[in-house]
Amino acid sequence: MIEAPPEEPRELNAALDFVRVELVSRGFETRHGRVQALAGMSLHAAPREVVAVVGPSGCGKSTLLELICKLQKPDAGTIEAGPAALMPQRDLLLPWLSAIDNAALALRARGISRVQARSIAAPWLERFGLARFEHTRPAELSGGMRQRVSFLRTLLAGKPVLALDEPFAALDAITRQEMQGWLGHVLESEPRTVILVTHDVEEAVMLGDRVVVMSPRPGHTVSEIEVPLTRPRKRTDPAVVDLRERALTALGVQA
Amino acid sequence: MSAGRRAIPALLLLLGLIAIWELYVEVKGSSFSTAILPAPHQVASALYDDRALLWSNFLVTAKEVLLGILLAAVLGAILSVAIHFSPTLRRAVYPLTVASQAVPVPILAPVLAFWLGFGLLPKLMVVALVSFFSVVVTTTAGLAAVDPDLVKLMRTFDASRLRTFRHIELPSALPGVFAGAKIAVAVSVIGAVLAEYMGSNSGLGYVILVSEPQLLVARAVAAVVILSLFAIALFALLGLIERLALPWVYRSPAEQAT
């Protein structure tokens, strides 16, 4: 059998690493009638831009990511996006696979042999501080390590666009802050076009180049806030605090 | 706690029940114990006296049960996968699978004996048939319980339907196959015995069948004791194989504490 050539995540198609969502609407039929998740939602991400999307619960953020990942089709509006890989909210690691085989799942999904997939994933585990846990199953990994493996799995899919769905929402506060710092660091060395959905305004300001604030359902963009700050950012930086307050105000939260 | 200490409550309960049984038969008198229900000490001596006969017939029944469950696990897993992929097939096959469980073995066994003779094959078919249903139900449930988000994730990784099945759904279904086989242990032993009743010249079911009219009730009960012990052993064996084959399903208490 001829194996597909190993694809390093670096080799990305530069022409396809943007996201443009124009006036997209999407609704669902449920038992309780029709639910309009998105109505006239627009968003764009330039190549290698990190766009953080914040909004109240149930404002259609996950629907937005699934539309960008082409898992759903919009009812109206247009979506242009490069190939996107999803990082789900729960880590969804496979309990029967070791950390390295979980990280290499996207490679295996493309038909790359186990040996080759592992040899591609191994140096990444080392970079992510997981080398010692290569052969450890998810049940024995900490929450932070599980999210790192989950992120690596999405990264190794080799897609120019990463769709991160509240990646740290399930972690405790301390681990979450650590992981936010870690992700900022990774995106510095491995820049990608990222749509980061979160309900944590501070996370959005810490990680995003731009923060898109969504309305309650039916979701659409109510405000866009540029984050003209270099990384690494400090939570206590007055500029960060100020942007956080602006985002909260846009969300309608009174300080 | 060691396995030995964990077994103490079960052993005490068993000893208590045997003592009550012994007393009950003692009170009822000797005509009761030779024709209806022998005392435990009579069963014990039958186990010893007839050990050669019981052992050789046990091997026959054990073979029927083991191969029958294996057949049920393989066929059940294959049907579950087919049902998982085709809702039409599910609608067509599922009611018939349920109906097959309602067919009493005494009705079915003579027909199978007529077609397949008095050897191993008809017994294997009966055991497989009575075990099949629980395997299909638990495996189908395992396949249906696969997280839809995981399937979506695989789609964003450009995985084909077949690779998603291989990497996600198949491993998820395996615990169901074992669960079904474990549930099937008891019915499969009953199935083998009934199949032997209906047409055979060996096996513990046959021993029971010929012992009762000869008023060798103690020997018949001895055969039942062996069948019960076999069911326990088989259940434990399946658990052990599952532990070795699917170590992620079980976690030690120490790991769970973290």
- Residue spans of the domains in chain B: they are 1-28, 50-249
Asked whether the beta carbons of B149 and A92 are under 8 A apart, the reply is: yes
Answer yes or no: is pLDDT of A204 > 70. Answer: yes
Answer yes or no: is pLDDT of B1 > 70. Answer: no
Overall average pLDDT of the B201-212 stretch: 91
Asked whether the beta carbons of A219 and A37 are under 8 A apart, the reply is: yes
Residue B255, pLDDT score: 47
Overall average pLDDT of the B46-75 stretch: 94
Tell me the pLDDT band of B111, cut-offs 50, 70 and 90. confident
Answer yes or no: is pLDDT of A59 > 90. Answer: no
Indicate the CATH number for domain A15-83+160-250: 3.40.50.300
Number of Cβ within a 10 Å radius of residue A32: 6
Asked whether the beta carbons of A47 and A193 are under 8 A apart, the reply is: yes
Average pLDDT, chain A: 88
Residue B23, pLDDT score: 94
Overall average pLDDT of the A44-50 stretch: 92
Q: What percent of chain A has pLDDT over 70?
A: 93
Residue A1, pLDDT score: 44
Residue A189, pLDDT score: 87
Residue B72, pLDDT score: 93
Overall average pLDDT of the B237-243 stretch: 93
Residue A130, pLDDT score: 92
Answer yes or no: is pLDDT of B144 > 50. Answer: yes
Q: Nearest Cβ partner of B156 from A95, A139, A157?
A: A157
Q: Give yes or no for B116 touching A (CB within 8 A).
A: no
Q: Nearest Cβ partner of A92 from B149, B164, B248?
A: B149
Q: What is the pLDDT of residues A74-90, one digit of tens each?
A: 999 999 999 999 998 88
Overall average pLDDT of the A53-72 stretch: 90
Q: Do A109 and B167 touch (CB under 8 A)?
A: yes
Q: How far is A222 from chain B (nearest CA, A)?
A: 29
SS3 at position A91: coil
Instruction: Supply the ipTM of this predicted assembly.
Output: 0.84
Overall average pLDDT of the B209-238 stretch: 92
- Residue spans of the domains in chain A: they are 15-83+160-250, 94-158
Q: How far is A106 from chain B (nearest CA, A)?
A: 5
Tell me the pLDDT band of B7, cut-offs 50, 70 and 90. confident
Q: Indicate the class that CATH gives domain B50-249.
A: mainly alpha
Answer yes or no: is pLDDT of A52 > 90. Answer: yes
Q: Nearest Cβ partner of A105 from B149, B167, B258?
A: B167
Q: What burial class does residue B191 get, using C-beta atoms within 10 Å of its C-beta: 0-12 exposed, 13-18 middle, 19+ buried?
A: buried
Residues of chain B in contact with residue A120, where contact means CB-CB under 8 angstroms, are none
pTM strictly above 0.95 = no
CA A92-A97-A103 angle, to 5 degrees, is 65
